[in-house]
Every structure is written in C-alpha cells, then in structure tokens.
C-alpha cells in the first residue's frame, strides 16, 4: 500500500504538468512558404468530400494536391479529398496560385489562366469551436452556408500558411515543465535504487 501511495505521489505532478501544458495549447497560423498550404483567417471553413461526393468534412487549414482526374483536392491524413465545389486544373500546369478571395489560377505553357473560385462555408451555430482544424458535419451544428471568401465574416484565404496547435511560452508552462522534469528525475532515482548492484549480488553468491 505504501508503495502504491508513493508511486501516485510521484505520478500526480507529472499528470498535472501534462494537463496544464496541453490545456494552454492554442491554434496558431504558421508560415510554411509552400504554395500548396492554405488556411482561412476568419470564420469560414473549406469543404471537402470523398470520391462518392458524400461524407463532407470542413477544414480550417489544408494542403492542396491534384488527383488523377485533374481535380483540385486536399490531402488529409495521406488521403486525397475533393474540394466542394469541384475545381479542375489543366494537365500542363506548372504552378497553382490561390488569391485571398479564393480565385484559383494556374500557370501553364500558355501563361496564367483562371480555373475557378473556392467557396468557404459558415456554420449557423456561433457556439462552434473555432479551434477545430477539421470537423465532421453533425446535426447540432446545422447545415453550413456557402459564401465567397471576404464576405459575411467568412474571412480570407492565406497561401503559404498552415494552422497548428502550439503551446505558448509562459511562466505557468515553465513551472509545469519543471514539475515534469522533477517527477521524471524522481522516478529514475527510485528505479535505480530498486535495481541491485551487480557486484554486490555476485559477492553474496560467492559467499
């Protein structure tokens, strides 16, 4: 019983430190320099669908890709999901550009040409957590409204940025990280005390 209480005493600060650090994580917009990274600054979401045009998902940030049919897609966990509404790009494209207003242009051998405009989607519920990078539509959220970027508070599209959860640098997090290191050090010290000294064991066996 004493051993269990001692272990809990060591583990509790580590669990508290992990909880403090992860609860303070916030979604941040990070520059990547890649022309295939897109993110929304505002209340809007990108919408993607699978090959059957069902199972809609909504994203705050995504990485562009093009499938075998020339459709502009988002790469989600290694899987290509088509943009909704669909946008087709020419096969001779050398570069893809997306403006803040969602205009998609490609550079080919004949120069630049427009391919379509991305929609953003707004949810009716104002209680929707804006920190979520990807959402799956469910009944409590309601049907989203398609709008053009820059309208009705949907926000604009940033090219070359992505959104990630980051832990802010703060005194509270430093204290939490310190507690975690102290706890780990205590656990290691306890483990080393439990392991017997090999030379001492061999000496006893000889005797």
Which one, of 166, 132, 177, lies nearest residue 25 by Cα?
Answer: 166
What are the pLDDT digits (tens) for 45-61? 999 998 776 788 899 89
| Range list of H helices, the chain | 2-23, 171-194, 198-206
Q: Are residues 123 and 196 in the same domain?
A: no
Q: Are residues 192 and 141 in the same domain?
A: no
Are residues 32 and 170 in contact, defined by beta-carbon separation less than 8 angstroms? Answer: no
Beta strand pairing call for 37-41 and 61-66 = antiparallel
Q: Which of 10-19, 50-59, 147-156 has the weakest average pLDDT?
A: 10-19
Residue 181, classified by CB atoms within 10 Å of its CB into exposed (0-12), middle (13-18) or buried (19+), is exposed
Question: What is the count of structural domains for the chain?
Answer: 2
> Considering the chain, what is the average pLDDT of its residues?
76
Q: Are residues 186 and 153 in the same domain?
A: no
Q: Are residues 10 and 69 in the same domain?
A: no
Q: Are residues 9 and 53 in the same domain?
A: no
Q: Are residues 51 and 63 in the same domain?
A: yes
Could you give the CA distance from residue 125 to residue 65 in angstroms, rounded to a whole number?
Answer: 30
Could you give the CA distance from residue 82 to residue 71 in angstroms, rounded to a whole number?
Answer: 7
Q: Are residues 87 and 100 in the same domain?
A: yes
Q: Are residues 118 and 182 in the same domain?
A: no
Q: Are residues 32 and 107 in the same domain?
A: yes
pLDDT at 118 > cutoff 90 = yes
pLDDT of residue 188: 61
Q: Are residues 99 and 192 in the same domain?
A: no
Domain that holds residue 150: 28-165
Are residues 183 and 11 in contact, defined by beta-carbon separation less than 8 angstroms? Answer: yes
Residue 103, classified by CB atoms within 10 Å of its CB into exposed (0-12), middle (13-18) or buried (19+), is middle
Could you give the CA distance from residue 91 to residue 108 in angstroms, rounded to a whole number?
Answer: 8
Which one, of 174, 163, 157, 81, lies nearest residue 118 by Cα?
Answer: 157
- CA angle at 102 for the pair 98 and 149, rounded to the nearest 5°: 145
Could you give the CA distance from residue 18 to residue 12 in angstroms, rounded to a whole number?
Answer: 10
Q: What is the pTM of this model?
A: 0.66
Q: Are residues 16 and 72 in the same domain?
A: no
pLDDT of residue 18: 57
Q: Are residues 47 and 130 in the same domain?
A: yes
159: tokens are: 């090219």
């Amino acid at each position: 019983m004493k051993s269990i209480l001692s272990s809990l005493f060591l583990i509790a600060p580590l669990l508290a430190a992990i909880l403090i650090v992860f609860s303070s994580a916030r979604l941040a917009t990070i520059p990547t320099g890649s022309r295939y990274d897109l993110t929304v600054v505002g209340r809007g979401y990108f919408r993607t669908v699978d090959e059957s045009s069902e199972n809609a998902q909504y994203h705050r940030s995504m990485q562009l890709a093009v499938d075998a049919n020339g459709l502009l897609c988002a790469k989600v966990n290694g899987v290509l999901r088509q943009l909704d509404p669909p946008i087709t790009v020419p096969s001779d494209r050398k570069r893809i550009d997306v403006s803040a207003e969602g205009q998609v242009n490609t550079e080919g051998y004949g120069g630049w040409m427009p391919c379509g405009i991305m929609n953003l989607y707004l949810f009716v519920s104002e209680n929707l957590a804006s920190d979520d990078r990807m959402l799956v539509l469910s009944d409590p959220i309601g049907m989203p409204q398609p709008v053009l970027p820059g309208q009705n508070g949907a926000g604009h599209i940033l090219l070359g940025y992505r959104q990630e959860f980051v832990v802010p640098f703060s005194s509270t997090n430093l204290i939490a990280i310190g507690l975690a290191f102290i706890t780990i050090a205590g656990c290691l010290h306890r483990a080393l005390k439990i392991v017997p000294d090999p030379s001492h064991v061999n000496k006893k066996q000889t005797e």
